[in-house]
Amino acid sequence: MTERTSRTVLLRGGAVYSPADPFATAMLVEGEHVAWVGSDGAAEAYARTADEIVELDGALVTPAFVDAHAHATATGLALTGLDLTGTPSLAAALAAVTAFTARQQPGGVLIGHGWDETGWPEGRPPTLAELDAAAGGAAVYLSRTDVHSALATTALRDLTEGLADRPGHHPDGPLTRDAHHAVRATALARLTPAQRRHAQRAALARAAELGIGALHECAGPQISSEQDLTALLELAAEGDGPEVFGYWGELAEHGGVETARRLGAVGAGGDLFVDGALGSHTACLQHDYADAAHTGTSYLTAAQVADHVAACTEAGLQAGFHAIGDAAVAAVLDGVRAAGDRVGADRVRALRHRVEHAEALDEKTVAAFAELGLTASVQPAFDAAWGGPDGMYVQRLGAERAAALNPFAALLRSGVPLAFGSDAPVTPLDPWGTVRAAAFHRTPEHRISVRAAFTAHTRGGWRAVGRDQDGVLVPGAVASYAIWAATDLVVQAPDDRVAGWSTDPRSGTPGLPDLTPGHPLPTCLRTVVRGRTVHLAEAVSSTATGTDTGAATGA
């Protein structure tokens, strides 16, 4: 494990985003914690004793981001392997598969991600014969962009025992449900420890480059493995990248509570699937899809949800569920309410059980989230990718239902805690892009201010794991922060009806970068986690003032 620093570091000459002082230009860090924020003039008193002085030259200092829903190994595999995200056509995707397999050593399983047939002119995924021809007979696994269906070559299918008898099997097309889980398990089981570590390192390094100081890893027997989560937590404990908080998505009746504790997870939830995804037609709806005569897939009943929440509450462990469609969300709410009747509503509320994605909500379900004390762990980039009049949401649901998805403003108005994430590799690690997506939601009534979105992507992630004191730059908080090349700071509200007072400089509301679409997103110069630098890009001058110049930089 990397040795922790106990150095004192003074940052000055910039803008520090802090509720302790909206006009702060300097900050003092002692070891792993923020010790002081204030003005450059007052900072002179600390300059004489600081081990290091960082000259910000006008840069912005903010709390580091928290990505509240990610899959590190899959993200790393996409970063270092075959990523089909944005591929413009079926023909281009097949050509990419051919080029990728030609570069690999024979044997093993090749893993790729990101195809999305809804944007292809052909309007369909490849047939099995087309995929086999492109892969040249190799065993290949290609997850769809939402990771709720996948393509698998014949060679990989043949390695998966009993595949044809599993729900979700298709002899010629994408695999869903149990068939998908089975081929994914086959593919991931053939990763070597070195391949897994390489992928996880790549994901954590990318997160650090983007100013992300913590990740919530949503693991489970249907999405990864115990070995995968253990390896990731061990890697994160070395201290060279973001902190990682693990969630283990397995029902209590199957030993999920005990496994979560044994693995060091903070919750028995995350990707504990109540349904699938809209793109794969597996999100569970109350009414048929607009482009398919069925309502999707239900994996858990309200009774199963109730049993799991009750068991987690009795164990003092946070529960969580993946629920996207309105029928799946309703099952979660009915189950959580029943668990409250069984073990006590106040005890259930106190643990802030989570719902991941929570896309199809109406006024009644939003009110139920507030009543039950649920945390909404949501991904604004979903709307940026699939919302709008021509997006996948409209294809799957029609315009009226699509426009109701991801109602962030209604959740905030009702007091529901928001924690923002990416679900990487479903959408990329991109924290400022995520904040922008919430502030410029494709459905205007769902927009929230940049300030509220930034809070959901920083402090919201800490609150979701019960660390209410962190995610802000105030004395006593953990010193996890990022330095940004961003000087044009504004207070950006979704429209002139909301928080107009806060856009007036006289209000003392601290500013953030202008995220209007078309403006470049801020560049991260440095990321610091618990006082230790985990990413350093360039151009923040630093001077060691003490005699211990060989110690690790603390900012």
What average pLDDT does range 362-375 have in this prediction?
Answer: 98
What percentage of the chain exceeds 90 in pLDDT? 82
Task: Identify whether the C-beta of residue 159 lies closer than 8 Å to the C-beta of residue 186.
Answer: yes
What average pLDDT does range 284-300 have in this prediction?
Answer: 97
Q: Looking at domain 193-464, which CATH architecture does it have?
A: Alpha-Beta Barrel (3.20)
Label residue 507 by pLDDT band (50, 70, 90): low
- Listed as own residue / partner, the contacts of 490-496 with beta carbons closer than 8 Å and 24 or more positions apart are 490/514, 491/449, 491/450, 491/451, 492/439, 492/449, 492/450, 492/451, 492/516, 493/449, 493/450, 494/409, 494/439, 494/440, 494/444, 494/447, 494/448, 494/449, 495/444, 495/447
End-to-end CA distance of the chain: 19
192 has pLDDT over 90: no
Residues 6+ apart with CB under 8 A from 533: 526, 527, 552, 553, 554, 555
What is 73-189's CATH number, 3.10.310.70, 3.40.50.2300, 3.40.50.10420, 1.10.3720.10? 3.10.310.70
Chain Cα centroid distance, residue 164: 33
3 has pLDDT over 60: no
For 45-103, write each residue's pLDDT tens digit: 999 999 999 999 999 999 999 999 999 999 999 898 899 999 999 999 999 999 999 88
Q: Which stretches within 150-225 are classed as H helix? A: 154-159, 177-189, 193-209
**What is the structure's pLDDT at 508?**
61
495 has pLDDT over 70: no
For 154-176, write each residue's pLDDT tens digit: 999 999 999 999 999 999 999 99
Judged by average pLDDT, the poorest of 106-120, 409-423, 503-517 is: 503-517
Tokens (6 digits) for 235: 């890697």
Residues 6+ apart with CB under 8 A from 142: 82, 84, 97, 111, 112, 113, 115, 131, 150, 151, 152
**What is the structure's pLDDT at 198?**
94
Q: Which stretches within 104-245 are classed as H helix? A: 128-135, 154-159, 177-189, 193-209, 226-237
Label residue 40 by pLDDT band (50, 70, 90): very high
Q: Does pTM surpass 0.95?
A: no
555 has pLDDT over 60: no
**What is the structure's pLDDT at 6?**
78
Q: Looking at domain 8-63+472-486+522-544, which CATH architecture does it have?
A: Roll (2.30)
What average pLDDT does range 393-417 have in this prediction?
Answer: 97
284 has pLDDT over 90: yes
**What is the structure's pLDDT at 2?**
42
What percentage of the chain exceeds 70 in pLDDT? 93
**What is the structure's pLDDT at 153?**
95
Domain ranges (residues) in the chain: 8-63+472-486+522-544, 73-189, 193-464
**What is the structure's pLDDT at 160?**
93
For 219-259, write each residue's pLDDT tens digit: 999 889 999 999 999 999 999 999 999 999 999 999 999 99
* Higher per-residue confidence, 329 vs 501: 329
5 has pLDDT over 60: no
Strand 82-83 versus strand 109-115 pairing type: parallel
Tokens (6 digits) for 380: 């604004």
